[in-house]
Amino acid sequence: MLSVSIVGGSGYVGGELLRLLLGHPHVEVRQVTSERLAGQYVYSTHPNLRGRTELRYSPQSSLEPCDVLILALPHSSAAKNIEHYAGLGQAIIDCSADFRLRDPEAYSRWYGEKHPAPHWLERFVYGLPELYREQIRSTRYVSGVGCNATAINLALLPLVKAGLIDQTKPVVAEVKVGSSEAGAVANDGSHHAERSGVVRSFAPVGHRHTAEIMQAHGLENVHISITSVEMVRGALATCHVFTQGSVNERDLWRAYRAAAAEQPFLRIVHDRSGLHRHPEPKILAGSNYADIGWALDEATGRVVALCALDNLMKGAAGAAIQCLNLMHGFEETVGLEFTGLHPV
Amino acid sequence: MLSVSIVGGSGYVGGELLRLLLGHPHVEVRQVTSERLAGQYVYSTHPNLRGRTELRYSPQSSLEPCDVLILALPHSSAAKNIEHYAGLGQAIIDCSADFRLRDPEAYSRWYGEKHPAPHWLERFVYGLPELYREQIRSTRYVSGVGCNATAINLALLPLVKAGLIDQTKPVVAEVKVGSSEAGAVANDGSHHAERSGVVRSFAPVGHRHTAEIMQAHGLENVHISITSVEMVRGALATCHVFTQGSVNERDLWRAYRAAAAEQPFLRIVHDRSGLHRHPEPKILAGSNYADIGWALDEATGRVVALCALDNLMKGAAGAAIQCLNLMHGFEETVGLEFTGLHPV
Amino acid sequence: MLSVSIVGGSGYVGGELLRLLLGHPHVEVRQVTSERLAGQYVYSTHPNLRGRTELRYSPQSSLEPCDVLILALPHSSAAKNIEHYAGLGQAIIDCSADFRLRDPEAYSRWYGEKHPAPHWLERFVYGLPELYREQIRSTRYVSGVGCNATAINLALLPLVKAGLIDQTKPVVAEVKVGSSEAGAVANDGSHHAERSGVVRSFAPVGHRHTAEIMQAHGLENVHISITSVEMVRGALATCHVFTQGSVNERDLWRAYRAAAAEQPFLRIVHDRSGLHRHPEPKILAGSNYADIGWALDEATGRVVALCALDNLMKGAAGAAIQCLNLMHGFEETVGLEFTGLHPV
Amino acid sequence: MLSVSIVGGSGYVGGELLRLLLGHPHVEVRQVTSERLAGQYVYSTHPNLRGRTELRYSPQSSLEPCDVLILALPHSSAAKNIEHYAGLGQAIIDCSADFRLRDPEAYSRWYGEKHPAPHWLERFVYGLPELYREQIRSTRYVSGVGCNATAINLALLPLVKAGLIDQTKPVVAEVKVGSSEAGAVANDGSHHAERSGVVRSFAPVGHRHTAEIMQAHGLENVHISITSVEMVRGALATCHVFTQGSVNERDLWRAYRAAAAEQPFLRIVHDRSGLHRHPEPKILAGSNYADIGWALDEATGRVVALCALDNLMKGAAGAAIQCLNLMHGFEETVGLEFTGLHPV
Amino acid sequence: MSAQCPECEGTIALAADILDGEIVPCPDCGAELEVVSLNPVVLELAPEVEEDWGE
Amino acid sequence: MSAQCPECEGTIALAADILDGEIVPCPDCGAELEVVSLNPVVLELAPEVEEDWGE
Ligand SMILES: NC(=O)c1ccc[n+]([C@@H]2O[C@H](COP(=O)([O-])OP(=O)(O)OC[C@H]3O[C@@H](n4cnc5c(N)ncnc54)[C@H](OP(=O)(O)O)[C@@H]3O)[C@@H](O)[C@H]2O)c1
Ligand SMILES: NC(=O)c1ccc[n+]([C@@H]2O[C@H](COP(=O)([O-])OP(=O)(O)OC[C@H]3O[C@@H](n4cnc5c(N)ncnc54)[C@H](OP(=O)(O)O)[C@@H]3O)[C@@H](O)[C@H]2O)c1
Ligand SMILES: NC(=O)c1ccc[n+]([C@@H]2O[C@H](COP(=O)([O-])OP(=O)(O)OC[C@H]3O[C@@H](n4cnc5c(N)ncnc54)[C@H](OP(=O)(O)O)[C@@H]3O)[C@@H](O)[C@H]2O)c1
Ligand SMILES: NC(=O)c1ccc[n+]([C@@H]2O[C@H](COP(=O)([O-])OP(=O)(O)OC[C@H]3O[C@@H](n4cnc5c(N)ncnc54)[C@H](OP(=O)(O)O)[C@@H]3O)[C@@H](O)[C@H]2O)c1
Ligand SMILES: [Zn+2]
Ligand SMILES: [Zn+2]
Give me the residues near ligand 5 (ion), CB cutoff below 5 Å. E 5, 7-8, 10, 26, 28-29, 31
Ligand nearest the Cα of residue C97 is 3
Chains that touch B (3 or more CB pairs under 8 A): A, C, D, E, F
**For the CA atoms of B196, B201, B202, B207, what is the dihedral angle to 10 degrees?**
150
* Predicted local confidence at residue A266, as pLDDT: 98
Q: Which H, E and C letters describe chain B, residue by residue?
A: CEEEEEECCCCHHHHHHHHHHHCCCCEEEEEEECCCCCCCEHHHCCHHHCCCCCCECECHHHCCCEEEEEECCCCCHHHHCHHHHHHHEEEEEECCCCCCCCCHHHHHHHHCCCCCCHHHHHHCEECCHHHHHHHHHCCCEEECCCHHHHHHHHHHHHHHHCCCECCCCCEEEEEEECHHHHCCCCCHHHEHHHHCCCEEEEECCCCCCHHHHHHHHCCCCEEEEEEEECCCCCEEEEEEEEECCCCCHHHHHHHHHHHHCCCCCEEECCCCCCCCCCCCCHHHCCCCCEEEEEEEECCCCEEEEEEEECCCHHHHHHHHHHHHHHHCCCCCCCCCCCCCCCCC
Residue of C12, C40, C191 to mutate for D, most D C-beta atoms under 10 A: C191
Residues C153 and C173: beta-carbon distance below 8 Å: no
How far apart are alpha carbons F6 and B222 in whole angstroms? 32
Q: 3-class SS at A99?
A: coil
pLDDT range class, residue F55, cuts 50, 70, 90: very low
In whole angstroms, give the CA distance from residue C46 to residue A285.
14
Report CB contact under 8 Å: B272, E48: yes
Residues of D catalogued as catalytic: 147
The pick from C5, C6, C12 for probing ligand 3's pocket by mutation, whose C-beta has the most ligand atoms within 8 angstroms, reads C12
**Subunits close to D (at least 3 CB pairs below 8 A):** A, B, C, E
CA of residue B285 to ligand 2 center, whole Å = 19
Q: Using 50, 70 and 90 to split pLDDT, how confident is the model at E54?
A: very low
- Note whether B344 contacts D: Cβ–Cβ < 8 A: yes
Peptide linkage before B343 cis (omega within 30 of 0): yes
Separation of alpha carbons E37 and E17, rounded Å: 13
pLDDT of residue E55: 41
Please give the Cα distance from C236 to D42 (Å, whole number): 35
Tell me the percentage of chain F whose pLDDT exceeds 70.
85
pLDDT at F53: 44
* Dist. CA D162–CA D217, nearest whole Å: 12
Mean pLDDT by 10 residues, chain B (344 residues): 98 98 98 98 98 98 98 97 98 98 96 96 98 98 97 98 98 98 96 98 95 96 98 98 96 98 98 95 98 97 98 98 98 98 98
CA distances for B163 relative to B155, B156, B254, D111, angstroms: 14, 11, 12, 64
- The reply to whether ligand 4 has any atom less than 6 angstroms from the CB of D11 is yes
N- to C-terminal Cα separation, chain C:
35
Query: What is the CB neighbour count within 10 angstroms for residue A168?
Result: 9
Query: Cis ω on the peptide bond leading into residue C281 (within 30° of 0)?
Result: no
In terms of Cα–Cα distance, which of C63, C4, C9, C263 is closest to C153?
C263
D38 has a chain E CB within 8 A of its CB: no
Asked if residue A279 has its Cβ within 6 Å of ligand 1, the reply is no
Q: Verify whether residue C147 is a known catalytic residue.
A: yes
Which of A35, A71, A80, A82 to probe ligand 1 with, by most ligand atoms within 8 A of CB? A35
- Strand pairing partners for B174? B225, B238
- Quote the pLDDT of residue D306: 98
Q: Do chains E and F touch (3 or more CB pairs under 8 A)?
A: no
How close E51 gets to chain C, by Cα (Å)?
A: 11
Residues in chain A with pLDDT < 50?
Answer: none
* Residue F48 near residue F34, CB atoms below 8 Å: no
> Does the CB of C228 have a partner CB in chain E at under 8 Å?
yes
Which residues 164-183 of chain C have a CB within 8 Å of chain A? 179-180
Residue C91's beta-bridge partner residues? C68
pLDDT at residue E49 is higher than 80: no
Side chain identity at A248, as an amino acid letter?
Answer: N
Residue numbers of chain C with a pLDDT score lower than 50: none
Sign for the CA dihedral angle at B292, B298, B299, B301 comes to positive
Terminal C-alpha separation, chain B? 35
Which residue has its alpha carbon closest to ligand 3 atom 25? C8
Chain B interface mutation, best of A36, A40, A187, A191, highest count of B Cβ atoms under 10 Å: A191
* Percent of chain F that is helix, strand, coil (3-state, to 5): 0, 40, 60
Distance CA A300, CA A169 (A): 12
- Neighbouring C-alpha atoms within 13 Å toward the C-beta of B274: 23
Closest residue in A to F23 (Cα) is: A39
> Which residue is catalytic, options B95, B147, B307, B323?
B147
- CA C195, CA E54: separation in Å to the nearest integer? 10
Chain CA centroid to CA D307, Å: 12
Ligand 4 and D179: CB distance under 6 A:
no
- Distances B197 to A197, A341, B232, D105 between C-alpha atoms, Å: 11, 16, 11, 48
| Type of residue at A260 | A
Helices (H), chain A: 12-22, 77-80, 82-88, 104-111, 129-137, 147-161, 192-195, 210-217, 249-260, 318-327
Whether residue D187 lies within 8 A of chain C, CB to CB, comes out as yes
In terms of residues, how long is chain C? 344
CA B53 to chain centre: 26
d(CA A132, CA A145): 12
The pLDDT-based confidence of E47 (bands split at 50, 70, 90) is confident
Residue E53 has what pLDDT?
A: 43
What is the DSSP annotation of A269-338? Answer: ---SSSS-SS--SGGGTT---EEEEEEEETTTTEEEEEEEE-TTIIIIIHHHHHHHHHHTT--TTTT---
Lowest mean pLDDT: which of A106-110, D211-215, F48-52?
F48-52
CB D217 within 8 A of CB D237: no
The answer to whether C65 and C92 are in contact (CB under 8 A) is no
* Residues A119-139 pLDDT 10s: 999 999 999 999 999 999 999
Please provide the DSSP assignment of D213-242 as one string. Answer: HHHHH--SSEEEEEEEES-SS-EEEEEEEE
Does B187 reach chain F within 8 Å, measured CB to CB?
Answer: yes
What is the pLDDT, as a whole number, of residue F54?
41
User: What is residue A233's predicted lDDT score, i.e. its pLDDT?
Assistant: 98
Quote the pTM value: 0.98
DSSP, collapsed to helix, strand or coil, labels residue C242 as strand
Per-residue pLDDT tens over the stretch D237-266: 999 999 999 999 999 999 999 999 999 999
- What is the ipTM, given to two decimal places? 0.97
* Banded pLDDT at F39 (limits 50, 70, 90): confident
Number of Cβ within a 10 Å radius of residue C287: 22
C-alpha to C-alpha distance for B183 and B96, rounded to whole angstroms: 12
Is the omega angle on the peptide bond into residue E40 within 30 degrees of 0, that is, cis? yes
Q: Give the closest of E9, E10, E51 to B273, CB-based.
A: E51
- Within 8 A of B97 by CB-CB distance, chain F residues are none
Kindly give the distance from the C-alpha atom of residue C237 to the centroid of ligand 6, in angstroms, as a whole number: 24
From the CB of A73, is ligand 1 less than 6 Å away?
A: yes
Closest approach of A263 to chain B, Cα-based (Å): 31
